[in-house]
Amino acid sequence: MAGKKKRKKNQFERNVLIAVVLLVLVAGLVTYLFNLDFPEISDDPIIGSTTKETEDTTTTSVTTVTTTVVTTETTTQKPVTTETSKVTTSEITTKETTVSVTTSETPKETSKQAEDPNFADRSILEKVGDVSNKKYSWWYYPNNENKPTQIDPGIARIIAPYNGIYIGETDEKVLYLTFDEGYEMGYTASILDTLKKHDVKAVFFITGYYLDKNQDLVDRMVNEGHIVGNHSVSHPSFPDIDNDKIYDELYNLDKKMVERYGFRTRLFRPPSGEYSERTLMITDMLGYKTVFWSFAYDDWYTDKIRGANYAYEKVMSNIHNGAVLLLHAVSKDNAEALDSIITACKEKGYTFKLLN
Protein backbone atom coordinates (compact mmCIF):
# COMPACT_ATOMS: atom_id res chain seq x y z
CA MET A 1 0.00 0.00 0.00
CA ALA A 2 2.83 2.35 0.86
CA GLY A 3 4.55 1.50 -2.46
CA LYS A 4 1.43 2.37 -4.42
CA LYS A 5 1.17 5.80 -2.80
CA LYS A 6 4.83 6.42 -3.52
CA ARG A 7 4.35 5.67 -7.27
CA LYS A 8 1.37 8.07 -7.44
CA LYS A 9 3.41 10.78 -5.78
CA ASN A 10 6.29 10.33 -8.24
CA GLN A 11 3.89 10.43 -11.22
CA PHE A 12 2.30 13.64 -9.90
CA GLU A 13 5.73 15.24 -9.52
CA ARG A 14 6.64 14.22 -13.07
CA ASN A 15 3.38 15.69 -14.36
CA VAL A 16 4.04 18.91 -12.49
CA LEU A 17 7.55 19.03 -13.88
CA ILE A 18 6.31 18.41 -17.39
CA ALA A 19 3.63 21.11 -16.96
CA VAL A 20 6.24 23.55 -15.68
CA VAL A 21 8.55 22.77 -18.61
CA LEU A 22 5.70 23.15 -21.07
CA LEU A 23 4.66 26.41 -19.44
CA VAL A 24 8.20 27.72 -19.70
CA LEU A 25 8.40 26.67 -23.35
CA VAL A 26 5.03 28.29 -24.14
CA ALA A 27 6.02 31.49 -22.35
CA GLY A 28 9.29 31.61 -24.25
CA LEU A 29 7.57 30.99 -27.53
CA VAL A 30 5.03 33.78 -26.88
CA THR A 31 7.79 36.17 -25.89
CA TYR A 32 9.70 35.34 -29.04
CA LEU A 33 6.70 35.81 -31.28
CA PHE A 34 5.74 39.21 -29.84
CA ASN A 35 9.28 40.52 -30.16
CA LEU A 36 9.66 39.33 -33.77
CA ASP A 37 10.50 42.11 -36.29
CA PHE A 38 8.10 41.38 -39.19
CA PRO A 39 9.10 42.69 -42.69
CA GLU A 40 7.12 45.64 -44.01
CA ILE A 41 4.35 44.85 -46.46
CA SER A 42 5.22 45.86 -50.03
CA ASP A 43 3.10 48.13 -52.21
CA ASP A 44 3.19 45.44 -54.83
CA PRO A 45 -0.31 43.88 -54.63
CA ILE A 46 0.79 40.63 -56.24
CA ILE A 47 4.05 39.31 -54.84
CA GLY A 48 4.90 41.52 -51.85
CA SER A 49 8.44 41.90 -50.60
CA THR A 50 10.55 40.57 -47.71
CA THR A 51 13.29 43.20 -48.07
CA LYS A 52 13.19 46.93 -47.54
CA GLU A 53 13.13 48.96 -50.71
CA THR A 54 16.33 50.71 -51.64
CA GLU A 55 16.22 54.47 -51.92
CA ASP A 56 15.50 55.68 -55.46
CA THR A 57 18.21 58.10 -56.50
CA THR A 58 16.72 58.82 -59.95
CA THR A 59 15.66 62.45 -60.46
CA THR A 60 12.17 62.82 -61.91
CA SER A 61 10.99 66.01 -63.57
CA VAL A 62 7.60 67.20 -62.30
CA THR A 63 5.60 69.39 -64.65
CA THR A 64 2.39 71.29 -63.98
CA VAL A 65 0.14 71.50 -67.01
CA THR A 66 -2.81 73.88 -67.25
CA THR A 67 -5.62 72.60 -69.46
CA THR A 68 -8.71 74.48 -70.59
CA VAL A 69 -11.85 72.41 -70.88
CA VAL A 70 -14.46 73.91 -73.18
CA THR A 71 -18.09 72.97 -73.05
CA THR A 72 -20.76 74.19 -75.40
CA GLU A 73 -24.44 74.84 -74.77
CA THR A 74 -26.57 75.12 -77.90
CA THR A 75 -30.05 76.58 -78.25
CA THR A 76 -31.48 75.95 -81.70
CA GLN A 77 -33.54 78.71 -83.30
CA LYS A 78 -35.88 78.63 -86.25
CA PRO A 79 -34.36 78.44 -89.75
CA VAL A 80 -33.77 81.74 -91.52
CA THR A 81 -34.34 81.85 -95.25
CA THR A 82 -33.01 84.45 -97.69
CA GLU A 83 -33.35 84.68 -101.44
CA THR A 84 -30.20 82.67 -101.98
CA SER A 85 -29.63 80.73 -98.77
CA LYS A 86 -31.40 78.75 -96.08
CA VAL A 87 -29.51 78.84 -92.83
CA THR A 88 -30.29 77.35 -89.42
CA THR A 89 -28.61 79.40 -86.74
CA SER A 90 -27.82 78.54 -83.14
CA GLU A 91 -27.08 80.60 -80.10
CA ILE A 92 -23.84 79.25 -78.67
CA THR A 93 -22.50 79.87 -75.20
CA THR A 94 -18.93 78.80 -74.45
CA LYS A 95 -17.68 78.08 -70.95
CA GLU A 96 -14.02 77.59 -70.03
CA THR A 97 -12.76 75.75 -66.95
CA THR A 98 -9.07 75.76 -66.08
CA VAL A 99 -7.70 72.57 -64.54
CA SER A 100 -4.15 72.13 -63.17
CA VAL A 101 -2.66 68.67 -63.71
CA THR A 102 0.65 67.47 -62.21
CA THR A 103 2.54 64.79 -64.08
CA SER A 104 5.86 63.07 -63.48
CA GLU A 105 6.56 62.77 -67.16
CA THR A 106 9.57 64.61 -68.50
CA PRO A 107 8.37 67.64 -70.52
CA LYS A 108 8.46 67.13 -74.25
CA GLU A 109 10.96 69.13 -76.22
CA THR A 110 9.34 72.31 -77.47
CA SER A 111 8.88 72.67 -81.21
CA LYS A 112 10.82 75.17 -83.27
CA GLN A 113 7.56 77.00 -83.87
CA ALA A 114 7.46 77.89 -80.18
CA GLU A 115 10.71 79.82 -80.65
CA ASP A 116 8.93 82.31 -82.88
CA PRO A 117 7.67 85.07 -80.56
CA ASN A 118 5.22 86.18 -83.23
CA PHE A 119 3.16 83.00 -83.25
CA ALA A 120 1.50 80.83 -80.60
CA ASP A 121 2.85 77.35 -79.93
CA ARG A 122 0.90 74.46 -81.44
CA SER A 123 -0.01 73.24 -77.95
CA ILE A 124 -2.61 76.01 -77.77
CA LEU A 125 -4.81 73.80 -79.97
CA GLU A 126 -5.43 71.61 -76.92
CA LYS A 127 -7.73 74.34 -75.62
CA VAL A 128 -10.14 74.13 -78.54
CA GLY A 129 -12.26 71.39 -76.99
CA ASP A 130 -15.55 70.10 -78.36
CA VAL A 131 -16.79 73.05 -80.42
CA SER A 132 -19.31 73.00 -83.23
CA ASN A 133 -17.85 72.48 -86.68
CA LYS A 134 -21.09 73.20 -88.52
CA LYS A 135 -20.03 74.67 -91.84
CA TYR A 136 -21.30 78.08 -92.95
CA SER A 137 -20.74 80.07 -96.14
CA TRP A 138 -20.67 83.81 -95.62
CA TRP A 139 -23.76 85.70 -96.77
CA TYR A 140 -25.55 88.92 -95.98
CA TYR A 141 -28.81 90.73 -96.79
CA PRO A 142 -27.99 92.93 -99.81
CA ASN A 143 -29.72 96.20 -100.66
CA ASN A 144 -29.44 98.79 -103.42
CA GLU A 145 -30.25 101.75 -101.20
CA ASN A 146 -26.72 102.43 -99.99
CA LYS A 147 -27.70 101.38 -96.49
CA PRO A 148 -25.49 99.28 -94.20
CA THR A 149 -25.65 95.59 -94.94
CA GLN A 150 -27.34 93.33 -92.38
CA ILE A 151 -26.57 89.76 -91.39
CA ASP A 152 -28.64 87.18 -89.54
CA PRO A 153 -28.53 87.73 -85.74
CA GLY A 154 -27.60 84.08 -85.22
CA ILE A 155 -24.54 84.48 -87.42
CA ALA A 156 -23.62 87.67 -85.60
CA ARG A 157 -23.65 85.80 -82.30
CA ILE A 158 -21.31 83.15 -83.71
CA ILE A 159 -18.65 85.49 -85.10
CA ALA A 160 -18.68 88.18 -82.40
CA PRO A 161 -16.91 86.23 -79.59
CA TYR A 162 -14.05 85.29 -81.91
CA ASN A 163 -13.00 88.66 -83.33
CA GLY A 164 -14.97 88.23 -86.55
CA ILE A 165 -15.96 91.39 -88.41
CA TYR A 166 -17.79 92.18 -91.65
CA ILE A 167 -18.54 95.91 -91.40
CA GLY A 168 -16.97 99.01 -89.89
CA GLU A 169 -18.42 102.09 -88.22
CA THR A 170 -21.87 102.64 -89.74
CA ASP A 171 -22.23 106.15 -88.33
CA GLU A 172 -19.34 107.39 -90.48
CA LYS A 173 -18.98 107.74 -94.24
CA VAL A 174 -15.97 105.46 -94.32
CA LEU A 175 -15.07 102.59 -96.65
CA TYR A 176 -12.57 99.75 -96.30
CA LEU A 177 -11.04 98.31 -99.47
CA THR A 178 -9.90 94.69 -99.41
CA PHE A 179 -8.55 92.54 -102.25
CA ASP A 180 -8.24 88.75 -102.34
CA GLU A 181 -5.06 87.49 -104.03
CA GLY A 182 -5.02 83.76 -104.75
CA TYR A 183 -2.96 84.07 -107.92
CA GLU A 184 -1.93 86.79 -110.34
CA MET A 185 -3.60 87.73 -113.62
CA GLY A 186 -1.51 90.83 -114.30
CA TYR A 187 -3.82 93.46 -112.75
CA THR A 188 -2.40 93.98 -109.25
CA ALA A 189 0.31 96.39 -110.37
CA SER A 190 -2.36 98.61 -111.94
CA ILE A 191 -4.46 98.40 -108.77
CA LEU A 192 -1.45 99.44 -106.68
CA ASP A 193 -0.77 102.32 -109.07
CA THR A 194 -4.35 103.58 -108.71
CA LEU A 195 -4.28 103.32 -104.93
CA LYS A 196 -1.00 105.22 -104.84
CA LYS A 197 -2.43 107.93 -107.10
CA HIS A 198 -5.34 108.52 -104.71
CA ASP A 199 -3.34 107.92 -101.51
CA VAL A 200 -5.72 105.15 -100.52
CA LYS A 201 -4.62 102.13 -98.50
CA ALA A 202 -6.12 98.66 -98.73
CA VAL A 203 -5.78 95.15 -97.30
CA PHE A 204 -4.47 92.43 -99.63
CA PHE A 205 -5.28 88.91 -98.49
CA ILE A 206 -2.65 86.67 -100.07
CA THR A 207 -2.10 82.92 -100.29
CA GLY A 208 1.20 81.12 -99.89
CA TYR A 209 1.28 80.51 -103.61
CA TYR A 210 0.87 84.20 -104.30
CA LEU A 211 3.64 85.14 -101.88
CA ASP A 212 6.06 82.67 -103.50
CA LYS A 213 5.27 83.67 -107.08
CA ASN A 214 4.80 87.44 -106.76
CA GLN A 215 7.21 88.69 -104.17
CA ASP A 216 7.79 91.92 -106.09
CA LEU A 217 4.10 92.81 -105.80
CA VAL A 218 3.99 91.88 -102.12
CA ASP A 219 7.06 94.08 -101.65
CA ARG A 220 5.06 96.95 -103.12
CA MET A 221 2.09 96.25 -100.87
CA VAL A 222 4.31 96.40 -97.80
CA ASN A 223 6.47 99.33 -98.90
CA GLU A 224 3.51 101.45 -100.01
CA GLY A 225 1.74 101.19 -96.67
CA HIS A 226 -0.92 98.58 -97.37
CA ILE A 227 -1.77 95.71 -95.03
CA VAL A 228 -1.03 92.15 -96.06
CA GLY A 229 -3.57 89.66 -94.69
CA ASN A 230 -3.47 85.88 -94.40
CA HIS A 231 -5.60 83.93 -96.89
CA SER A 232 -3.90 80.60 -95.98
CA VAL A 233 -1.16 78.71 -97.80
CA SER A 234 -3.24 76.58 -100.18
CA HIS A 235 -6.80 78.00 -99.88
CA PRO A 236 -8.64 74.98 -98.40
CA SER A 237 -12.08 75.14 -96.81
CA PHE A 238 -11.16 75.43 -93.12
CA PRO A 239 -14.14 73.46 -91.71
CA ASP A 240 -12.99 70.51 -93.85
CA ILE A 241 -9.50 70.27 -92.30
CA ASP A 242 -8.34 69.39 -88.80
CA ASN A 243 -6.88 71.72 -86.17
CA ASP A 244 -3.25 70.93 -86.97
CA LYS A 245 -3.79 71.55 -90.66
CA ILE A 246 -5.40 74.91 -89.92
CA TYR A 247 -2.37 75.78 -87.81
CA ASP A 248 -0.01 74.83 -90.64
CA GLU A 249 -2.01 76.76 -93.25
CA LEU A 250 -1.71 79.94 -91.20
CA TYR A 251 1.70 79.50 -89.60
CA ASN A 252 3.58 78.50 -92.74
CA LEU A 253 2.49 81.65 -94.56
CA ASP A 254 3.29 83.86 -91.59
CA LYS A 255 6.67 82.19 -91.15
CA LYS A 256 7.62 83.43 -94.61
CA MET A 257 6.24 86.88 -93.84
CA VAL A 258 8.41 87.10 -90.72
CA GLU A 259 11.46 85.90 -92.62
CA ARG A 260 10.97 88.37 -95.49
CA TYR A 261 9.42 91.41 -93.83
CA GLY A 262 9.94 90.99 -90.10
CA PHE A 263 6.27 90.80 -89.13
CA ARG A 264 3.38 88.37 -89.22
CA THR A 265 -0.14 88.98 -90.50
CA ARG A 266 -2.96 89.86 -88.10
CA LEU A 267 -5.98 89.81 -90.40
CA PHE A 268 -7.38 86.60 -91.86
CA ARG A 269 -9.96 85.99 -94.57
CA PRO A 270 -11.45 82.48 -94.72
CA PRO A 271 -10.93 80.81 -98.10
CA SER A 272 -14.21 80.84 -100.06
CA GLY A 273 -15.82 82.56 -97.08
CA GLU A 274 -16.37 79.17 -95.40
CA TYR A 275 -16.09 78.88 -91.64
CA SER A 276 -17.41 77.24 -88.47
CA GLU A 277 -17.34 78.10 -84.81
CA ARG A 278 -14.35 75.77 -84.42
CA THR A 279 -12.33 77.54 -87.12
CA LEU A 280 -13.26 80.96 -85.75
CA MET A 281 -12.08 79.90 -82.30
CA ILE A 282 -8.74 78.67 -83.64
CA THR A 283 -7.99 81.76 -85.71
CA ASP A 284 -8.89 83.95 -82.74
CA MET A 285 -6.65 81.94 -80.41
CA LEU A 286 -3.80 82.33 -82.89
CA GLY A 287 -4.14 86.10 -82.82
CA TYR A 288 -6.17 86.85 -85.95
CA LYS A 289 -9.16 89.04 -86.63
CA THR A 290 -11.33 87.18 -89.15
CA VAL A 291 -12.49 89.59 -91.85
CA PHE A 292 -15.64 88.89 -93.86
CA TRP A 293 -17.32 91.58 -95.98
CA SER A 294 -20.46 93.63 -96.42
CA PHE A 295 -20.19 93.83 -100.20
CA ALA A 296 -18.92 91.50 -102.92
CA TYR A 297 -19.99 90.32 -106.35
CA ASP A 298 -19.03 87.52 -108.74
CA ASP A 299 -15.81 89.15 -109.88
CA TRP A 300 -13.61 86.06 -109.49
CA TYR A 301 -14.52 84.61 -112.90
CA THR A 302 -11.56 85.44 -115.11
CA ASP A 303 -13.49 84.46 -118.24
CA LYS A 304 -16.33 86.93 -117.51
CA ILE A 305 -15.09 90.31 -118.66
CA ARG A 306 -18.10 92.61 -118.56
CA GLY A 307 -16.36 95.95 -118.67
CA ALA A 308 -15.25 98.64 -116.23
CA ASN A 309 -18.68 100.25 -116.18
CA TYR A 310 -20.26 97.01 -114.95
CA ALA A 311 -17.84 96.85 -112.00
CA TYR A 312 -18.36 100.56 -111.31
CA GLU A 313 -22.15 100.23 -111.14
CA LYS A 314 -21.97 97.14 -108.99
CA VAL A 315 -19.80 98.86 -106.40
CA MET A 316 -21.44 102.28 -106.44
CA SER A 317 -24.96 100.88 -106.03
CA ASN A 318 -23.89 99.02 -102.89
CA ILE A 319 -21.54 101.35 -101.02
CA HIS A 320 -22.64 102.27 -97.52
CA ASN A 321 -21.26 103.60 -94.27
CA GLY A 322 -18.65 101.25 -92.87
CA ALA A 323 -18.61 99.04 -95.96
CA VAL A 324 -15.94 96.34 -96.12
CA LEU A 325 -15.60 95.92 -99.87
CA LEU A 326 -14.28 92.61 -101.21
CA LEU A 327 -12.81 92.84 -104.69
CA HIS A 328 -10.81 90.15 -106.45
CA ALA A 329 -7.62 91.35 -108.04
CA VAL A 330 -7.91 88.79 -110.87
CA SER A 331 -10.72 90.92 -112.34
CA LYS A 332 -9.80 93.14 -115.28
CA ASP A 333 -13.07 95.00 -114.75
CA ASN A 334 -12.13 95.89 -111.17
CA ALA A 335 -8.67 97.09 -112.13
CA GLU A 336 -10.05 99.36 -114.86
CA ALA A 337 -12.93 100.69 -112.75
CA LEU A 338 -11.00 101.34 -109.54
CA ASP A 339 -9.92 104.87 -110.43
CA SER A 340 -13.51 105.95 -111.16
CA ILE A 341 -14.83 104.17 -108.07
CA ILE A 342 -12.42 105.91 -105.70
CA THR A 343 -13.04 109.29 -107.35
CA ALA A 344 -16.85 108.94 -107.14
CA CYS A 345 -16.77 107.72 -103.54
CA LYS A 346 -14.68 110.68 -102.46
CA GLU A 347 -17.05 113.03 -104.27
CA LYS A 348 -19.91 111.54 -102.26
CA GLY A 349 -18.06 112.37 -99.05
CA TYR A 350 -16.63 108.95 -98.28
CA THR A 351 -13.14 108.45 -96.92
CA PHE A 352 -11.05 105.27 -97.12
CA LYS A 353 -9.52 103.72 -94.03
CA LEU A 354 -7.45 100.66 -93.22
CA LEU A 355 -8.89 97.83 -91.19
CA ASN A 356 -7.07 97.18 -87.96
**How does pLDDT run across 27-46, given as a tens digit for each residue?**
555 444 444 333 333 332 32
Please check the confidence at residue 146 and state whether its pLDDT lies above 90: yes
Mean pLDDT for 219-230 is: 98
- Per-residue model confidence (pLDDT) at position 40: 37
- Cβ-Cβ contacts under 8 Å for 346 (sequence gap 6 or more): 198
Q: What is the CA radius of gyration of the chain?
A: 39
Q: What is the mean pLDDT of the chain?
A: 78
The active-site residue out of 152, 180, 248, 339 is: 180
Higher pLDDT, 219 or 114: 219
- Per-residue model confidence (pLDDT) at position 117: 65
Centroid of chain to Cα 205: 19
Centroid of chain to Cα 341: 37
Please check the confidence at residue 94 and state whether its pLDDT lies above 60: no
Under DSSP, the state recorded for 125 is G
Among candidate residues 276, 294, 282, 322, the one with its CA nearest the CA of residue 159: 276
Among candidate residues 154, 157, 190, 142, the one with its CA nearest the CA of residue 326: 142
- Per-residue model confidence (pLDDT) at position 56: 36
**Please, which residues bridge with residue 324 across strands?**
176
Q: How far apart are CA 307 and CA 333, in angstroms?
A: 5
Mean pLDDT for 309-336 is: 97
- Per-residue model confidence (pLDDT) at position 10: 64
- Per-residue model confidence (pLDDT) at position 18: 73
Under DSSP, the state recorded for 240 is G
The active-site residue out of 231, 254, 328, 333 is: 328
User: Is 171 a catalytic site residue?
Assistant: no
**Please, which residues bridge with residue 179 across strands?**
204, 327
- Confidence band of 7 (pLDDT split at 50, 70, 90): low
HSE value, Cβ hemisphere, 13 Å, CA-based, for 302 = 8
Q: How far apart are CA 307 and CA 315, in angstroms?
A: 13
pLDDT tens-digit map of 43-92: 323 223 333 333 333 333 333 333 333 333 333 333 333 333 333 333 33
Mean pLDDT for 16-33 is: 60
Mean pLDDT for 276-298 is: 97
Lowest-confidence pick of 2-6, 260-264, 273-277: 2-6
Domains defined for the chain, CATH in brackets: 132-352 (3.20.20.370)
HSE value, Cβ hemisphere, 13 Å, CA-based, for 101 = 11
User: Is 56 a catalytic site residue?
Assistant: no
